[in-house]
Amino acid sequence: MHAAFRKALAAGVAVGVATLGVACSSDGSGSASAGSGGTKLSFQLNFPPGGSNAGFAAALEEGYYKAVGLDVTIVPGTGSSLTAQMVASGQASIGYADSTATAQLIAKQAPLSVLATVYQSNPNAVLALPGSGIRSVSDLKGKKVGTPVPSSQATMLPLFLSANGLSAKDVDLVNLAPTSLVQSLLQHRVDAILGSTDAYQVQLEQQNAGQLFVAPFATNGVPTVSTSIFANKGWASSHANDVKAFVKASLQGWHFAATNPDKATADVNKLWGAKADKASGAELKAIIGSNLLCAGGAKFLGKAEPAQWAKTQDLLSQVGLLPKGIDPAKYYTYDYLPADLQPCPVK
């Protein structure tokens, strides 16, 4: 293990002890806690409050964390890469981030491990407006496709094209800031965009964009495992019972969100109030509708199968997001999953 990460591991354990022993409460950052009076644990999200983390809000507000003896504080984030770096460096002990960002650090000897995979596939998708002439992936040939830069999505686009008989030379790639993708499509500056089913598709639908063409990566050859609960390995080992309880309650929260989306959306709004994304309900329903929680042949909610990890390692190493030759089992552990996982599909 690299010396830098040996220091990070020690720091992570120290931070973990402090996290579990010191009270945390809601503050200006948007962090929120139910204040159950149990063992205190701080959980670092990847994004601000919204549909993409509704399962955790449900676990808090519906009392699942309290039932397993935890007083959980949920801390909003500003991106998967930063969250992964925070846990790797010991600034946080347990978090929620895209598995690509986490696996990239693990490949560099970071003391991290994925504990439970919530999004069994990435939400990436190519989106086009009605009237664009795009009715299939092959229709993208010769079209302008807006791609968010910088992003791992753009790096993965060649995999999507190749899986569907195209190459990057067959399309006119237009680099755009992520915040300008939707308007660029609506204003017909591009014919399609590389977005996602749980965010950009929702934004387009809420702006009455009509019947969209949607080609998800998950069902078009690029079903990489995505957003997951992960932790500092040393901290997780030294707090195993609390980590197992947290994972169990979190997955209960996600099952609740998948089967009671309106109530889970209310939980998001109750927990974060004005800080919650106004599109939370639509985002959650998009997550459920596009089967992100149980995609890629998943058998259980929260458990990405070894074959899914192997496929992820193979695909992402092809475009340099992960190094070649890594055993995918290095990225994850099943040690903290509950014995009574909810079977897929979630209904």
Say if CB 182 and CB 127 are below 8 A apart: no
- Per domain, the residue ranges of the chain are 3-121+224-330, 124-219
Supply 64's token pair. 């699942």
Burial of 305 per CB tally in 10 Å (0-12, 13-18, 19+): middle
Say if CB 104 and CB 152 are below 8 A apart: no
**Does the pLDDT at position 267 exceed 90?**
yes
Q: Does domain 3-121+224-330 fall into CATH 1.20.1050.10? A: no
State the fold for domain 124-219. Answer: D-Maltodextrin-Binding Protein; domain 2 (3.40.190)
What are the tens digits of pLDDT across the range 61-99?
999 999 999 999 999 999 999 999 999 998 999 999 999
* Percent over 90 (pLDDT), the chain: 82
> Three-state SS for 84?
helix
Binning pLDDT at 50, 70 and 90, where does residue 211 land? very high
**Does the pLDDT at position 183 exceed 90?**
yes
What are the tens digits of pLDDT across the range 281-292?
999 999 999 999
Binning pLDDT at 50, 70 and 90, where does residue 146 land? very high
Which residue has better confidence, 136 or 1? 136
Establish whether domains 3-121+224-330 and 124-219 are of one fold.
Answer: yes
DSSP secondary structure string, 289-333? HTTGGG-TT--BTBB--HHHHHHHHHHHHHTTSS-TT--GGGSB-
What are the tens digits of pLDDT across the range 331-344?
999 999 999 999 98
* Percent over 70 (pLDDT), the chain: 89
pLDDT at 345: 76
**Does the pLDDT at position 36 exceed 70?**
no
Range in 2-11, 71-80, 254-263, 299-308 the model is least confident about? 2-11
Which residue has better confidence, 32 or 43? 43
**Does the pLDDT at position 26 exceed 80?**
no
Say if CB 31 and CB 257 are below 8 A apart: no
**Model confidence, pTM:** 0.88
Helices (H) and strands (E) in the chain, counts: 13, 11
